[in-house]
Amino acid sequence: MTNKVATSGSLRNRLVFTLIGGAAVLALLFFFVVRSFSVQIAQQGQDNILLASATSMLDAAAIRNSTIELDLPYSAFSMLSTQADDRIFYAILQDGKFLSGYEDLVGVDASSSNTPTFKTSFVRGAKVRIISASRTLIGASERTEIQIILAQTQDDLSKTLDQISRNAAFLGFGFFALTSALSFWATSATIGQLGKLTKSVTRRGPQDLRPFKRSVPKEMGPLVSSLNSLMGRLDQSLSQSEDFIAEAAHRVRTPLATVRSYADATLQRVDKEENREAMRSMIKAIDESSRAAGQLLDHAMITFRADHLVREEINLVELTRDLVERLTPIAEMKDLSLALHSDDQVIYKGDPVLIQNAVRNLIDNAMKYGPMESTIEIFVSRVPSPSVTVCDNGPGFPVGEIESLTTRFQRGENSKDIVGSGLGLTIARDVALAHGGNIHLENKLEGGACVTLSL
């Protein structure tokens, strides 16, 4: 009984995609933030050095004998030396007039405010960072402004930035990979709880409606508790209906027995053939009803015991022998003999009442559907699993129906004139299933039916 459940999407995929997507976005964000920060910091570093250099140049300026003197300090250029051999350009201006250095720098930055200004531009085809700084000199009779324009290429800077970018990319990727692995793990751990619950639901026997006791994560609590309450209600309604059936069967059986004895007595007294015929049909119907009531009662009992299966050690051989002895008188009435073939003992842990009931139903069938004056063979064996097999020499199961005979109230076409309810094989099957076994029906090649109850 496998129902196709309508599903849409996967919780696992959704979780994994959300987590990995989030990790990717975060990793990218990390990369860009680190990059932009390091661009700022590296640029700041270069600017600071340029400022220091320009300041040292400005500091070297002095007015002597009313002419300007600027004794370029050695340190001004030595501090601009970089690993990547960056080029430097500079210009010294007095009141906007070029004094020395690189004349093509003049006009690159026209600002002559007192605070140093920085900008990025191109000089001689190379990308450079330019600082422009100035200082006012006051001599005896004049004031003059000295301006320094200093430019440095950015090879070292971009080298450093490349390095940082590469490291940030590695780090970002590592973070992403780690988070991905983590999200896979977290997802399967979370989904795993659901899987566990599913497994313990499917592992249960068909009659097992006990509530789940094992602790589950908090979030799954409501699901399990509603599952439990659903099963509780189901269990209750099932046992109510079984109780009801058993009660009903019991109540029907007693009056039926009374009716049956009256009918028997009446049949003795009736002479007219047509009335006798009617009485016989009546008796058959009564037999059928009381058989059905008996079987229903048995079935209800079996369902109950299977739910609360109590296993005890039993010897299947002894159990079967008991049964055979009890049934022998009935068999002899039909000139039938029951032959038991078995080992000394087959020890099995199970419910003796259930197993006896099942085997009785099988022998009962063999006697009902087998021919008179024949032998019913009963085998009890230990291998491959503890089992009881009942075989007769009758016509066998009707071909084509063999699959469906174990379902409830299902009777074969060969059972027309034979009293029965269609529950015998169902009882046997339920007993087998309750013990974790199964029932197997087959027709022998030389004729006759064989039923194996394996436990």
Ligand X SMILES: Nc1ncnc2c1ncn2[C@@H]1O[C@H](COP(=O)(O)OP(=O)(O)OP(=O)(O)O)[C@@H](O)[C@H]1O
Site mask, ligand X, residues 290-329, x = CB under 6 A? -x---x----------------------------------
Cα separation, 194 vs 197, in Å, equals: 5
405 binds, among another protein, Mg ion, ligand X, none (CB under 5 to 8 A by kind): ligand X
> Does residue 93 bind another protein (CB under 8 A)?
no
> CA gyration radius for the chain?
51
Q: Would you say 410 and 422 are in contact if contact means Cβ atoms under 8 Å apart?
A: yes
Q: Would you say 297 and 250 are in contact if contact means Cβ atoms under 8 Å apart?
A: yes
Any idea what the Cα angle at residue 187 is, between residues 181 and 193, rounded to 5°?
140
Measured at CB, which residue is nearest to Mg ion? Answer: 424
Stretch that binds ligand X, among 5-13, 91-99, 307-315, 390-398 (CB under 6 A): 390-398
Nearest to 356 by CA among 305, 407, 416: 305
Cβ at position 112, least distance to another protein in Å: 20
> Does residue 453 bind ligand X (CB under 6 A)?
no
**Token digits for 451?**
């039923």
Question: How far, CA to CA in Å, does 61 sit from each of 83, 111, 116, 145?
Answer: 29, 20, 17, 10
Stretch that binds another protein, among 85-93, 105-113, 157-165, 367-375 (CB under 8 A): 85-93
Residue selected from 266, 374, 415, 454 as contacting ligand X according to rule CB under 6 A: 415
71 binds, among another protein, Mg ion, ligand X, none (CB under 5 to 8 A by kind): another protein
* CA of residue 434 relative to chain centroid, distance: 28
**Token digits for 10?**
């996967």
**Token digits for 197?**
């619950």
> Does residue 252 bind another protein (CB under 8 A)?
no
Nearest to 42 by CA among 152, 150, 117: 152
100 binds, among Mg ion, ligand X, another protein, none (CB under 5 to 8 A by kind): another protein
Cβ at position 425, least distance to ligand X in Å: 4
Residue selected from 23, 101, 151, 249 as contacting another protein according to rule CB under 8 A: 101
> Does residue 411 bind ligand X (CB under 6 A)?
yes
Nearest to 76 by CA among 93, 62, 92, 58: 58
Nearest to 123 by CA among 95, 77, 88: 88
AA letter at 275: N
> Does residue 295 bind Mg ion (CB under 5 A)?
no
Nearer to Mg ion, 183 or 365 (CB): 365
**Token digits for 215?**
């602790």
Contacts for 65-68: CB closer than 8 Å, 24+ residues apart:
66/139, 66/140, 66/141, 66/142, 68/94, 68/99, 68/137, 68/144, 68/146
46 binds, among ligand X, Mg ion, another protein, none (CB under 5 to 8 A by kind): none
**Token digits for 226?**
């509603």
Residue selected from 58, 80, 358, 431 as contacting another protein according to rule CB under 8 A: 80
Cβ at position 447, least distance to Mg ion in Å: 19
> Does residue 212 bind another protein (CB under 8 A)?
no
88 binds, among another protein, ligand X, Mg ion, none (CB under 5 to 8 A by kind): another protein
> Does residue 431 bind ligand X (CB under 6 A)?
no
Q: Which residues bind ligand X (CB under 6 A)?
A: 291, 295, 361, 365-366, 368-370, 392, 394, 396-397, 405, 411-412, 414-415, 420-426, 449
Q: Which residues bind Mg ion (CB under 5 A)?
A: 365, 424
Q: Which residues bind another protein (CB under 8 A)?
A: 69-74, 76-78, 80-81, 85, 87-89, 92, 99-101, 124-126
